[in-house]
Amino acid sequence: MQNDVVPVIIKGVMPTANGCAVFLGNDDKTFVIYVDHSVGNAIQMTLDGVKKERPLTHDLIGAVLLGLGATLERVVVNDAREGTFFARILLRMENELGKKLVELDARPSDSIVIALQHKRPILVARAVFDSVEDMTEILERVRKQQQSAESEDEDEKPPF
């Protein structure tokens, strides 16, 4: 693996007032990308393996890639400016004319869904990873609050 990128996983998806917070990271650090509700739901459904009755936009993109004979290599969150993240989708295409690597500009949120659906790596440029604030403690605190709230809900249920 190249030294200029860091592999990350999705550590959590939490609803917020204006969308969803997607926590990405590794053992060293966790950071947040804020996305709209629809993409946050798509990320969570993909993580949960939810089958959809009709294809969503990300499913359509996967079908188009398949139809074109392109395979997803990886996605890279390659930049962050003024709180906005940027990503690149890297596709490999091979046909009778030869092999080609195609790099597309994309929103990180869409890139994450597609990478999860295709079980491909999500990478972050080292410069981006080093520049973002570590949100590991916040994620742990939110999880504890959720567990506490779930426990209280269970205690309030009638025993029958």
Q: Which pLDDT tens digit goes with each residue over 33-57?
A: 999 999 999 999 999 999 888 888 8
Check residue 27 and report its DSSP letter: S
Cα angle: 117, vertex 80, 125; to 5 degrees: 65
Distances (CA, A) of 36 to 77, 118, 123, 159: 17, 21, 21, 38
Structure tokens at 49: 């393996």
- Domain residue limits at 35: 5-156
How many domains does the structure of the chain reveal?
Answer: 1
Given this model, what pLDDT does residue 69 score? 87
Percentage of the chain surpassing pLDDT 70?
93
Structure tokens at 139: 């994620």
Which whole number is the average pLDDT over 14-38? Answer: 95
pLDDT of 28 above 50: yes
Q: Is 106 exposed, middle or buried (0-12, 13-18, 19+ CB in 10 A)?
A: middle
pLDDT of 151 above 90: no
Given this model, what pLDDT does residue 153 score? 67
pLDDT of 19 above 60: yes
Given this model, what pLDDT does residue 38 score? 92
> How far is it, in rounded angstroms, from Cα 108 to Cα 60?
17
pLDDT tens column, 99-137: 999 999 999 999 999 999 999 999 999 999 999 999 999
The CATH number given to whatever domain includes residue 14 is 3.10.690.10
pLDDT tens column, 51-100: 888 888 888 998 899 888 899 999 999 999 998 999 999 999 987 888 99
